[in-house]
Structure 1
Amino acid sequence: MRLDAYAERFAVAGYACFLFDYRNFGASEGNKRQWINVKQQLADWNSAIDFIKKDDRVDGSKILLFGSSFSGGHIITLSSKRKDILATISQCPYTNTLASMRTLSPVSFLKAFPFVIADLLSCLTGYHPVMLKLVDEREKAAIMAVPDYKVHLELIPENSNFVNKAPARTLLEFVKYSPGRYTKDIESPIYYAVCLKDTLVPAEATIKCAKRSKKATIKEYNCGHFDIYLGDYFEKAIADYIDFFDKKIK
């Protein structure tokens, strides 16, 4: 998902960067492949932060977080609960369940629902997941059925081990998770990058949540949810992010 591109630019600017795959994904271990679980992913974030703080090569008192989309929501949650985070950048973050649910086509939801039921029933006989596409065109059965889905797929390099599917029960993780409720509890500086043409996490809902943070910087980008990872929007955003961190680190 081009997180390596962000890390490379941060590194050139003088920041030590640590990237990780969640359990069950990519190069990480785990026998429940592609399973998106909020509780486990937050635990993985906490483990990564604690690991970095023990590394003598970095200053453990200057931990900065960067997350995008669903992980953008995770770092909102983390920043509200941990007191050892110096500053955070949350790019096009998932914040509000109801707002994101309204972006989904009713047809897509109805098509996905039988997959969710079948996947939940499969738990009765062990782990035999019924898979659902992560991203597809609008009105298809997918967790993210959005008009600009092709841009999402363009973010994946040819040699990647990315798999465009997850257990269908993952849809329930999105439904029950609203990290935007924690924005008011964040004491450290946080930068919210809002995509005004976002078809997945509506900008209006994100801005409403972001304004509750005491030390919020809110920047609007006139692009879609996946556009900010590429081209001129990426260049503008990464320059803004580095400038934000530079001001907070000093």
Structure 2
Amino acid sequence: KKPPWARKDVTFKVKEMSLSAWLYLPENLSVPVPCIIMGHGLGATKDAGLEPYAIRFQEAGFAVLAFDYRYLGESEGEPRQLIWIPYQQEDYKAAINYARSLKEIDPTRIALWGTSLSGGHVIVTAARDNKIACVSAQCPLLDGNAGGMKLLKRVGIWYILRMAFGHALRDLVRSWLGLSPHKIPLVGKPGSIAVMADSDAWDTFSKLVPDDFINEACARILIRMDKYKPVKYATRVRCPVLLQVCDNDISLPMSVVEKVEKRLGKLAEVIH
């Protein structure tokens, strides 16, 4: 499918690296419009299913900026396929600043859209930037530790130890020594060595990603995930938040969603 007429290839900088993005602008633009910033989940890229969302938003009169994180997709950065949460949060901030600098965009009406891991990023980013207009978080990662406990019950302690010490720690130590990264598949079938190894992730990714998608990730992300707790930032968010929850999500405990909803109060809307 050809890209829509108003999709532009753009770049913006973060720490001397160029990040690749697609900018969608509504047709017959006459005044600055609200903009939705879209970053994908975990190690996915903007060409993995974001465009249908972006086109619908564009048709509704919004601008959209969908970007690739550093080290991934068409963005710059080495080592390739590194997923590091603080860096991805910085990339969101850089995308927001870039959008606010464009004459076509109303800088007071910036919305954030995230899914999975980036569903947590948008909560954290909105907590740090009280000028964000609203947030949409789809099946968000809200508490890595709680998700890790669900994973432990599903796969067992020996699999967890194997992934942590045989792969994640190995990659981290190699990075300390200045050696090439140790990479594992981003998505795999149940029981395989992968960042996400379950049938749901495998089936979903197989449908979303393009043929040339690089199914790899630096393994060190595995020892960072359980420490990521966007739930702690919920009380600092000052804008409306739409939480879109998949009832059969095997990684998101509903108790965490309820905790975030309670902390957000009237700002929260939860859709199942």
For Structure 1 versus Structure 2, the TM-score category normalised by the shorter chain is 0.7 to 0.9
Structure 1 unmatched ranges of 5 or more: 221-250
1:12 and 1:128 mapped to 2: Cα distance? 44
Query: Equivalent residue of 1:195, what SS?
Result: coil
2:259 and 2:112 mapped to 1: Cα distance? 21
Structure 2 unmatched ranges of 5 or more: 1-47
Between Structure 1 and Structure 2, the one with more helix by share is 1
1:208 and 1:155 mapped to 2: Cα distance? 32
Choose from 227, 235, 241 the match for 1:184. Answer: 235
- Between stretches 197-206 and 177-186, larger displacement belongs to 197-206
Query: Equivalent residue of 2:235, what SS?
Result: helix
How many matched pairs?
219
Aligned to 1:234: none
2:263 and 2:120 mapped to 1: Cα distance? 15
Query: Equivalent residue of 1:142, what SS?
Result: coil
1:6 and 2:53 matched? yes
Choose from 17, 30, 38 the match for 2:77. Answer: 30
TM-fit CA distance, 1:135: 1.8
Q: Normalization by structure 1: what TM-score?
A: 0.82
Aligned to 1:216: 268
For CA contacts below 8 A with separation 6 or more, give which structure has more relative contact order. 1
TM-fit CA distance, 1:6: 0.8
Asked if structure 2 preserves the Cα contact closer than 8 Å seen for 1:111 and 1:141, the reply is no
Aligned to 2:181: 129
TM-fit CA distance, 1:10: 0.6
Q: Normalization by structure 2: what TM-score?
A: 0.76
Equivalences for 1:219-238 in 2 at 5 Å?
219-220=271-272
1:139 and 2:191 matched? yes
2:198 and 2:147 mapped to 1: Cα distance? 11
1:174 and 2:225 matched? yes
Choose from 138, 146, 149 the match for 1:102. Answer: 149
TM-fit CA distance, 1:109: 1.6
- Cα deviation 1:146-179 (Å, max 9, x = unaligned): 23132222233444x4222211111122121111
Could you tell me the percent identity over the aligned residues? 32
1:10 maps to a residue whose letter is F
Aligned to 1:155: 207
1:63 and 1:164 mapped to 2: Cα distance? 31
TM-fit CA distance, 1:77: 0.1
1:40 and 2:57 matched? no
Cα RMSD for the two superposed structures: 1.5
Aligned to 1:79: 126
